[in-house]
Amino acid sequence: MARNYSMDRRAYLSALGAGTTVALAGCTSITGGGSGTITPGTAPGFQPFEFRDGGELVGFDIDLVEAVVAETDYELGEWQTFEFDSLIQALTSDKIDMIAAAMTITDERDETIDFSDPYYSANQSVIVREDGEFSPSSLDDLSGHPVGAQSGTTGETVIQSQLIEEGKLEESNYNSYDNYVLAVEDLQNGNIDAVVVDEPVGATFADQRPVTVAFVYETGEQYGFGFRTDDDDRTEAVNAGLQAVRDNGTYEELRNEWFSG
Ligand code: GLN
């Protein structure tokens, strides 16, 4: 069983005596003297990765972090929630110790924070109203249409770099939202004609609302958990935990639970 591994290791470490620094072959090195806490932060409204269900924070990232941290010598702290574009600041100002928010590993973010090993791959999707009046099949087709994305996301970067900077979309046609749920509501209301959002989330919106995925724009993104650049201990512990949940089948179980396709 997965959980026994860390229990065994903990028992082993305490047998060695608290305060001893040990490195186990094949494991991350663990600093003795008491394990710390990992307080995770996320941005709900990004189903199925993190969202509220009757007030409770649930989702693939939530379950995955719980399973991963259980494999480490860290305690899982209480989840903190922020707007997506405030997460990096929350991390660097010590409000949280880890970002778990379907965050794509990008070079730009990597200048400010460290990422764990990748744990999920995704592309972008362009979603539109289900009525079929506007059914774009490429980014170019968005020309002249009001479009939306969530502030600080890679979806926003696609709109900026592929459309606005290319002169294909007026800046005034771009609408930035604090949260994708608000963007999709504006899409349903007819205030905008398309939303650019990570494909698994676009597909979930399409399952639950009168919107549909018009097309997928391949970006080949990889999600990682975010850490402070000086926090190699947590980063390494979580990488080892991630490997452990992949090896023991928990990762696959959670994928099957949260993703139908
Ligand atoms: N994966 C996208 C990004 O990192 C969107 C993440 C999100 O909105 N939670 O920008």
Residue 194, classed as helix, strand or coil, is: strand
- Classify domain 7-119+224-259 by CATH architecture: 3-Layer(aba) Sandwich (3.40)
Mean pLDDT of 198-210: 98
Residue in 81, 84, 116, 199 to alter for ligand 1 test, most ligand atoms within 8 A of Cβ? 84
**pLDDT confidence bin for 132, thresholds 50/70/90:** confident
The preferred substitution site among 88, 125, 198, 225 for testing ligand 1, maximizing ligand atoms within 8 Å of CB, is 198
What percent of the chain lies above the pLDDT cut of 70? 87
From ligand 1's centre to the CA of 37, what distance in Å? 25
The three-class DSSP label of residue 33 is: coil
The pLDDT score that the predictor gives to residue 128 is 98
What are the φ and ψ backbone dihedral angles of 207, each rounded to 5 degrees?
-70, -30
Given the CA of residue 221, which atom of ligand 1 is nearest to it?
A: 1
Task: Please give all residues whose beta carbon lies within 6 A of any atom in ligand 1, as ranges.
Answer: 43, 46, 84, 101-104, 150, 153-154, 198, 221
Q: What is the mean pLDDT of residues 10-26?
A: 42
Question: What stretches of the chain show up as alpha helix (H) in DSSP?
Answer: 2-16, 60-70, 87-92, 107-110, 154-158, 180-189, 199-208, 232-247, 250-258
Q: Is 174 helix (H, G, I), strand (E, B) or coil?
A: strand
160 CA from centroid of ligand 1 (Å): 15
- CA–centroid distance, 30 to ligand 1, in Å, is 31
Q: How far apart are CA 197 and CA 154, in angstroms?
A: 8
| Shared fold status for 7-119+224-259 and 122-221 | yes
Domain borders along the chain are 7-119+224-259, 122-221
Its CATH class, for the domain covering 122-221, is alpha beta
Supply φ then ψ for residue 129, to 5 degrees. -65, 150
Residue 2, helix vs strand vs coil: helix
- Residue 35 is predicted with a pLDDT of 75
DSSP β-ladder status, 226-227 and 114-115:
antiparallel
Ligand 1 centroid distance, CA of 198 (Å): 7
Q: What are the pLDDT digits (tens) for 33-67? A: 347 999 999 999 999 999 999 999 999 999 999 99
Ligand 1, atom nearest to 106 Cα: 4
Q: What is the pLDDT confidence band of residue 146, given thresholds at 50, 70 and 90?
A: very high
What share of the chain in percent tops pLDDT 90?
Answer: 85
Mean pLDDT of the chain: 90
Tokens 């229990």 belong to residue: 7
Residue minimizing CA distance to atom 10 of ligand 1: 153
